[in-house]
Amino acid sequence: MDTSAPVRHDVDGVLRLGVWLPTTGPAAALGTPLKAAVRLAVAAINAAGGVNGHPVELTARDEGGSDSTASGALDDLLQTDQVDGIIGPASSRVALGALDVIAQAKAVTCSPVATAIDLDQRRDQGYFERTIGSDALEANALGRAMFNTGDSNFAVLYPDDDYGREYGDRVKSYFSRLRVDVRLVPYDPTATEFNGPAQSAIAGGTQVIGVIGSEPSGPAVLAALAANGAPPREVPTFVTDGLRRADLGSLIDPARPNASAGIHGVSPQSEPADQTFAQLFARAQPGTPLSYVAYAFDCVNLIALSADAAGSDDPEKIQARLVDVSSGGSPCTGFEACEKQLALGRNIDFNGASGDLDLLDNGDVGVANYELFTFDAKGDDMPTDQFTMPANPGGA
């Protein structure tokens, strides 16, 4: 992105937030509910008296589905709207391309759903945070789910690209901490047939298989596994969140919509951990999906509480308090309850609608909640368990 840093003239006591989420393009179905959660959070904060005695101001720009749309939206938020903080983007690729700009602009930015491992680097100088767990934690969750089958011969197929190699390495590191071996088998995500990688993964009496990927190559890998003698009913197969799709069965085999039956997987917890928030959102946005909205709600509250703790809308001062308000103090849930603790001069530990956050210095959450799911006989995915993964797991 070629967005240049703005000359700030808006440190005036009013916290201005920008929404940088997709409301058009392929990810609009995800971005629209997230935007609704942001609005709900701001409304609740303002009903409680705002931040530092002023209502929070909100403006929105469409991340869209292209680099040019995303870049133009960020430019508008920084240059025209002069926001102090940004909620977004949804895309990890967009976020990675914007880190330098965010750092130069010194705009506190919180993504609710960008999970790429590379986002934990400090190119952003501390101005990029996220409330959802990194793929590094999901890799640990995948390893845990596979290990907990009780078997001992594991293989993981991964796309041979930056994302897949990094993810696969994290899975291998998790197994290494358990002193258990796992074979990593690469596949070309641009290929049209995957019999070779499937056969390599199955060879040697593999008992449990993991598949890292997304559409279109991920379903084709699953189809190749079944065609080469490893259907999920016989060889337990675990997938990542990119393959948690209602149409996975049809993507594997168009003639069998339930071809995904028996496949297991892990994904970030999509439903809110805080049922009070879930009920509030359902009343405010009837019929709107709840998936991942808690993470957007938490981004707003995290920035607002940091601004309250800093006593300023200056992004540099807000950034300096992000870790402080998320851990180490008196536990509290929701802006109003936490703000009252701050007004009493207490340190707080903000617990969000998505769960505890405990931000680390690199902007990642220190713990994250994950779901274990299974595709049933009809090919519908059903949650079967929930568990928490710490950033530095000591074991299974």
Least confident of 66-75, 95-104, 117-126, 361-370: 117-126
How many other C-beta atoms lie within 10 A of the C-beta of residue 192?
A: 8
Please, which pLDDT band fits residue 396 given cuts at 50, 70 and 90? very low
Q: 136-268+369-390 belongs to which CATH class?
A: alpha beta
The correct answer on CATH 3.40.50.2300 for the domain covering 16-132+292-365 is yes
Long-range Cβ contacts of 164-167 (<8 Å, 24+ apart): 164/189, 164/212, 164/213, 166/117, 166/118, 166/135, 167/117, 167/135, 167/138, 167/139, 167/212, 167/240
Q: What is the mean pLDDT of residues 103-131?
A: 92
Q: Which residues pair with 157 in a beta bridge?
A: 185, 211
d(C-alpha 364, C-alpha 121), whole Å? 10
With pLDDT > 90 as the criterion, what percentage of the chain qualifies? 94
Instruction: Write the single-letter amino acid at 203.
Output: A
| pLDDT value for 392 | 72
User: What average pLDDT does the structure give for the chain?
Assistant: 95
User: What's the CA gap between 319 and 54, in Å, rounded?
Assistant: 19
pLDDT band at 69 (very low <50, low <70, confident <90, very high): very high
User: pLDDT confidence of 4, banded at 50, 70, 90?
Assistant: low
CA angle (138, 141, 147) in 5-degree steps = 145
pLDDT, mean of residues 111-115: 97
What CA–CA distance (Å, rounded) separates 90 from 46? 25
Token output for 295: 């993470």
SS3 331: strand
282 sits in which H/E element: helix 275-284
- Integer angstrom CA distances of residue 70 from 5, 59, 93, 233, 334: 16, 15, 11, 42, 30
Average pLDDT over residues 134-142: 97
Domains of the chain: which residue ranges? 16-132+292-365, 136-268+369-390
Q: Which positions ≥6 away from 172 have C-beta within 8 Å?
A: 156, 182, 184
Q: What is the pLDDT of residues 195-217, one digit of tens each?
A: 999 999 999 999 999 999 999 99
Residue whose entry in the numeric block shows the structure tokens 């190699």:
165
Crossing angle of helices 67-75 and 92-105, in 10° steps, is 30
